[in-house]
Structure 1
Amino acid sequence: MIFYHIGHMDAQRIGLDWRSEFQRLEGAYAPSTMRSYRADVEAFEDWCVENCIRQPFPASVETVCRFLEDQGQSRASSTVQRRLYAIRKVHRLLRLPDPTYDEDINLAMRKVRRARSIRPRQAKGLTRNYLDSFLESEPDTPWGLRNRAMLALGYELLTRRSELIALRNRDIVERADGTLRVLIRRSKADPYGQGRIAFTSKRTADLLGEWLSYRGPEIEWLFCPIYQGKVIDRCLETTTVRRVIKEAAQRCGLRAEQVASFSGHSMRVGAAQDLLRRGFDTAAIMRAGGWKSVNVLARYLEKAEHNVWA
């Protein structure tokens, strides 16, 4: 095993400085990634305190191995892997000797994966039959106008919730046939913002038109909050998308466990499943949704034949 030694004052300085050094990452990573990195490093710090390890950084190979194996007792392997990346990032930012590439680290991660071979939880697909019922359930209020347009657009564009709330007026172009051409500028699989083009149906274009007529031209964001009946010029939180879907599921009388299985990702999952049922091949679905990984898409599609309105 490799051990690193550092003076007490330097240890205190490093413990404080990793947070300030993380500011260098702003703009290079998505805000959600930054939040995860910070939470993961803090989890490692807290674990060190609980285990009487006075010096989290620089970490020894032995300490990191113990942390990973301990986390693997209660966390998914993907979470443990992400925490390893966060520990690695701190060492690199602070220009400290990095223990995370040691072979013992690889062995520790293999143990974690083999011990907890749990399939990732898959969001329930918001397929077309669910979508139609959810749209009908929305009330005739400003919130209902917005939510109908948002659900219909998110489904047809196969967007992640972060992509949906990031849309702005300039990203939408009306076509001669009344449908819309939409530029999705940035996504998880497109960190540099090259974007992808997607198209809507006439129905979704009409629903969006009704919402925009209420919202007015002065708001930059396609979807925005509404407070006491008045629109606010800022984008929605990603949690709003999830809440809108779950509230619609409740209004439609779905069982509690069904409501719980829907998430902000459900529109993307359900649209992909519907495309498969309609006979589109994997390559076409990947292009439509901007997927880079066949394995990720395969998890969405494997339950397509079982996703029945009931």
Structure 2
Amino acid sequence: MSHIDSIIASDWRSEFQRLEGAYAPATMRSYRADVEAFENWCVENGIKRPFPASVETVCCFLEDQGQSKASSTVQRRLYAIRKVHRLLRLTDPTYDEDINLAMRKVRRQQSIRPRQAKGLTRNYLDNLLDSEPATPWGLRNRAMLALGYELMTRRSELIALRNQDITERRDGTFRVLIRRSKADPYGQGRIAFTSKRTGDLLREWLACRGPTIEWLFCPIYRGSVIDRCLETTSIRSVIKEAARRCGLPPDQVASFSAHSMRVGAAQDLLAGGFNTAAIMRAGGWKSVNVLARYLEKAEHNVWA
């Protein structure tokens, strides 16, 4: 590698600034962490110059990562290494056939099925809503859980909602615009509607929150609302805390996640007679394979 290449290769972090706005912030954080993981691995293995990387180096890295990381994480790290080479206009080793073989080895040695979040179906949801106290936190959490379930939102979509995204209708329900999602990076958005019950819960929370807050669901500190969006981890905490209040066994509490509302709503729709195409439209799914994993337990209940 020439002296100029060495200087360029050491400056990948500044080159990553070109990606800002083209990718979601979470994706950017993951890419940076992935490249740093590759750099650290190179240092630990006596490789002085990570970039440009050789095919052999990348293969060894991928197979080593596959010993402790999920195959999806290893795949993402491969994408991050590819992105750095492209940004630095270096020869890209990641399309070599040996790279494909290394990834096949990683996937084959990880034959364990991905862990599926427990579905927060309607029976669980009703109990969780009833457990919330008559406090500002309880009003927010009831509205948030009910809305997340009915709209089948991802956690990032739910906390990103703002006042301008909801429109109250004459019948007491709300029209909600979900502007951007993991499956919709360019923000075409999808429209969803609430029930009257969820509309009532949302109005109670909005009356408590007040008109000056931009974000639909915001943090509350010492009883006062704060004008910023919640952290994505907050939704998982709300679900798990409510599940504990309901007296659910620890193993069931542990199996709930922020994704549980989306999973549970899809399972309820299937049990209610809706077909896969209708459920995919309602939840904004692009992959039938992902949805099929959600519906496995619901199908068992339908045919049992």
Q: TM-score range by the shorter chain?
A: over 0.9
Q: Using the alignment, how far apart are the partners of 1:43 and 1:307 within structure 2?
A: 43
- Mapped contact 1:155–1:271 kept (Cα < 8 A): yes
- Work out whether 1:252 is the aligned partner of 2:226: no
What residue ranges of structure 2 are gaps of 5+ in the alignment? none
TM-score by length of 1: 0.95
| Pairwise CA distance, 1:10 | 4.6
- Work out whether 1:218 is the aligned partner of 2:212: yes
1:43 pairs, out of 22, 37, 47, with 37
In structure 1, the residue matched to 2:24 is 30
Q: Secondary structure at the match of 2:89?
A: coil
- Work out whether 1:298 is the aligned partner of 2:264: no
| Pairwise CA distance, 1:179 | 0.9
- Mapped contact 2:78–2:94 kept (Cα < 8 A): yes
Q: Secondary structure at the match of 1:183?
A: strand
In structure 2, the residue matched to 1:189 is 183
- Mapped contact 2:270–2:299 kept (Cα < 8 A): no
- Work out whether 1:230 is the aligned partner of 2:261: no
RMSD (Å) for aligned C-alpha atoms: 1.4
Opposite residue 68 of structure 1, the aligned amino acid is: L
2:264 pairs, out of 260, 264, 270, with 270
Encode CA deviations 1:142-186: one digit per residue, 9 max, x unaligned: 000000000000000000000001111111111121111111000
1:14 pairs, out of 5, 9, 12, with 9
- Mapped contact 2:166–2:176 kept (Cα < 8 A): yes
- Give matches, 1:108-187, under 5 Å: 108-187=102-181
- Mapped contact 1:76–1:118 kept (Cα < 8 A): no
Opposite residue 188 of structure 1, the aligned amino acid is: K
| Pairwise CA distance, 1:12 | 5.4
Opposite residue 196 of structure 1, the aligned amino acid is: R
Structure 1 ranges of 4+ moved more than 4 A: 305-308
Q: Using the alignment, how far apart are the partners of 2:125 and 2:189 within structure 1?
A: 26
- Mapped contact 2:118–2:260 kept (Cα < 8 A): yes
Q: Using the alignment, how far apart are the partners of 1:85 and 1:118 within structure 2?
A: 23
In structure 1, the residue matched to 2:76 is 82
| Pairwise CA distance, 1:26 | 1.1
Encode CA deviations 1:87-129: one digit per residue, 9 max, x unaligned: 0011111111100001110111111111112211111111101
Q: Using the alignment, how far apart are the partners of 1:191 and 1:29 within structure 2?
A: 8
Q: Quote the sequence identity (%).
A: 85
In structure 1, the residue matched to 2:52 is 58
Give the length in aligned residue pairs. 302
What residue ranges of structure 1 are gaps of 5+ in the alignment? none
Q: Using the alignment, how far apart are the partners of 1:258 and 1:11 within structure 2?
A: 52
- Mapped contact 1:155–1:270 kept (Cα < 8 A): yes
In structure 1, the residue matched to 2:203 is 209
- Mapped contact 2:139–2:204 kept (Cα < 8 A): yes
- Mapped contact 1:125–1:307 kept (Cα < 8 A): no
Q: Using the alignment, how far apart are the partners of 2:106 and 2:2 within structure 1?
A: 30
- Mapped contact 2:8–2:88 kept (Cα < 8 A): no
Q: Using the alignment, how far apart are the partners of 1:294 and 1:251 within structure 2?
A: 35
Opposite residue 133 of structure 1, the aligned amino acid is: N
Q: Secondary structure at the match of 2:228?
A: coil
Q: Using the alignment, how far apart are the partners of 1:193 and 1:117 within structure 2?
A: 35
Opposite residue 48 of structure 1, the aligned amino acid is: C
Q: Using the alignment, how far apart are the partners of 1:305 and 1:230 within structure 2?
A: 44
- Mapped contact 1:125–1:270 kept (Cα < 8 A): yes
TM-score by length of 2: 0.96
Q: Using the alignment, how far apart are the partners of 1:40 and 1:258 within structure 2?
A: 32
- Mapped contact 1:153–1:200 kept (Cα < 8 A): yes
